[in-house]
């Protein structure tokens, strides 16, 4: 026992109030140590399966100083390799200036330094003057280093640790909770990234709780209460909203506007969300909400309005070839609004769209990160829009996200204030933050939350 309280040693300790030291956010030594202790030990979301549709299609994924090539080597086979030539250490594939990552289609990878060449299976097929090595260049010495790769939910996942446990075991219990939403069938509607002036953890935490909604996004309070919860599940967490009786689905992304006439407030909420966040809804849902006042009489109870709205939107989507999965209301309520995949990916799921965030370090600068957000949607077969990662200045993001950005930059500065004594996350609504640092400490060996009860 210390003056700061005892270290949280079990997930159950996170139910009560804890404090988290600022070291993980502001220490350059901590940021440097993350490369070996965290990023090289965890499963990381590296892209979507549809980004490598044909044999030879590839994308790259960078995390700190490490870079990985992910390529389709067969109709049903994906491989990943360290993006480095075993000859002199040159990267095989460079990211074009200003781009999010490299992508394309190649049947071989040629080093730009001395033209060593590698096939899709990672075997070196050409070395100029190979005989000069007097037989020492065996296949094991010249082949590309393999990286663990697997898929789930439509995403590609990589792990730099050759001894890491399988992806399924790592993600548990997320697949069981999100498989009913069929995220693998969704496609990008838009995707944006930015180099931002805060630590990657500050960025992820800004979207991992609902406690901030009433103060950061007060405009939403006109449409109802947004009190939420956060629950920890081993490495991962999920968040959701408290919902009235008989409206369990209102704990999820697709929410009814409350207060006054629910036909009107639901339409107002949907229109505001579409215009100012451009996330968490679709044009079909917005249009269906705008029809409520004409399709239902005044005085229709809120649960009936909610069910009619979703039924109408589902039917209109089905007519254009977009089939929503059927998810039981009890499961929807349990799944909540979003899952935080340790360490740096968030999936905000719904039956016909999702919003995902990720963040990773920018070099070893603890005050900077690469922040990404992507909106996905169900589209008719073959009608998904062509998208690419778009670098977007902070002032050009949707207005609601700009509100979050203002907090993120200010929090990073405040963390370094000599008077700051450590975070004190809400034990009910911000347990996801305490859980993140509980699990970070298991990898990093420092920074564990401490009980302040």
pLDDT digits (tens, 9 = 90+) for 155-181: 999 999 999 999 999 999 999 999 999
Q: Is the pLDDT of residue 253 over 60?
A: no
Check residue 37 and report its DSSP letter: I
Q: Is the pLDDT of residue 254 over 70?
A: no
Q: Is the pLDDT of residue 3 over 50?
A: no
Give residue 249's pLDDT: 54
Give residue 255's pLDDT: 65
β-bridge pairing 390-391 and 187-196: parallel
pLDDT above 70 coverage of the chain, percent = 94
User: What value does the mean pLDDT take over residues 320-329?
Assistant: 96
Q: Is the pLDDT of residue 51 over 80?
A: yes
Name residues whose C-beta falls within 8 Å of residue 182's C-beta, 6 or more positions apart in sequence: 325
Could you tell me which of 329, 444, 371, 441 has the C-alpha nearest to residue 19?
A: 441
Q: Is the pLDDT of residue 131 over 80?
A: yes
Cα dist. 364→60, 94, 369, 412 in Å?
Answer: 20, 20, 9, 15
Where does the pLDDT of residue 46 fall: very low under 50, low under 70, confident under 90, or very high at 90 and above? Answer: very high
Where does the pLDDT of residue 1 fall: very low under 50, low under 70, confident under 90, or very high at 90 and above? Answer: very low
Give residue 12's pLDDT: 84
Measured CA angle at 282 (ends 293, 358), to 5 deg: 140
Where does the pLDDT of residue 233 fall: very low under 50, low under 70, confident under 90, or very high at 90 and above? Answer: very high
Q: How far apart are CA 392 and CA 372, in angstroms?
A: 10
Give residue 440's pLDDT: 98
Give residue 244's pLDDT: 64
Q: Are 63 and 70 in contact (CB under 8 A)?
A: no
């Amino acid at each position: 026992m210390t003056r700061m309280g005892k270290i949280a040693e079990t997930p159950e300790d996170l139910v009560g109030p804890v404090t988290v030291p600022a070291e993980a956010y502001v220490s350059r030594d901590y940021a440097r140590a993350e490369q070996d202790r965290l990023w090289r030990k965890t499963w990381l979301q590296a892209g979507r399966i549809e980004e490598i549709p044909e044999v030879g299609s590839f994308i790259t994924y960078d995390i700190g100083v490490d870079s990985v090539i992910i390529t389709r080597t067969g109709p049903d086979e994906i491989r990943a390799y360290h993006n480095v030539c075993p000859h002199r250490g040159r990267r095989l594939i460079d990211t074009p200036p200003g781009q999010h990552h490299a992508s394309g289609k190649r049947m071989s990878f040629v080093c730009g330094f001395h033209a060593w060449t590698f096939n899709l299976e990672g075997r070196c097929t050409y070395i100029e003057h190979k005989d000069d090595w007097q037989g020492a260049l065996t296949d094991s010495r010249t082949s590309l280093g393999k990286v663990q790769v697997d898929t789930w939910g439509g995403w590609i996942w990589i792990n730099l640790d050759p001894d890491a446990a399988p992806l399924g075991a790592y993600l548990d219990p997320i697949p069981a909770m999100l498989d009913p939403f069929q995220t693998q069938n969704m496609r990008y509607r838009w995707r944006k990234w930015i180099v931002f002036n805060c630590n990657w953890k500050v960025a992820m935490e800004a979207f991992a709780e609902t406690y901030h909604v009433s103060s950061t996004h007060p405009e939403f309070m006109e449409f109802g209460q947004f009190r939420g919860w956060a629950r920890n599940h081993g490495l991962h967490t999920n968040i959701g909203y408290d919902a009235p009786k008989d409206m369990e689905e209102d704990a999820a992304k697709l929410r009814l506007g409350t207060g006054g006439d629910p036909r009107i407030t639901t339409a107002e909420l949907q229109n505001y969300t579409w215009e100012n966040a451009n996330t968490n809804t679709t044009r079909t849902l917005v249009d269906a909400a705008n029809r409520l006042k004409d399709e239902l009489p005044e005085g229709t109870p809120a649960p009936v309005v909610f069910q009619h709205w979703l039924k109408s939107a589902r039917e209109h989507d089905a007519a254009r070839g977009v089939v929503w999965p059927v998810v039981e209301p009890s499961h929807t309520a349990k799944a909540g609004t979003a899952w935080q995949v340790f360490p740096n990916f968030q999936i905000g799921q719904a039956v016909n769209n999702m919003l995902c965030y990720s963040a990773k370090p920018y070099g070893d600068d603890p005050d900077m990160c690469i922040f990404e957000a992507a909106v996905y949607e169900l589209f008719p077969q073959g009608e998904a829009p062509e998208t690419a990662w778009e670098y977007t200045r902070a002032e050009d993001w949707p207005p609601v996200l700009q509100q979050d950005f203002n907090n993120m930059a200010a929090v990073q500065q405040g963390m370094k204030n000599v008077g700051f004594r450590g975070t004190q996350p809400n034990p009910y609504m911000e347990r996801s933050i305490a859980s993140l640092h509980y699990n970070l400490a298991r990898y990093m060996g420092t920074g564990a939350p401490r009980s302040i009860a």
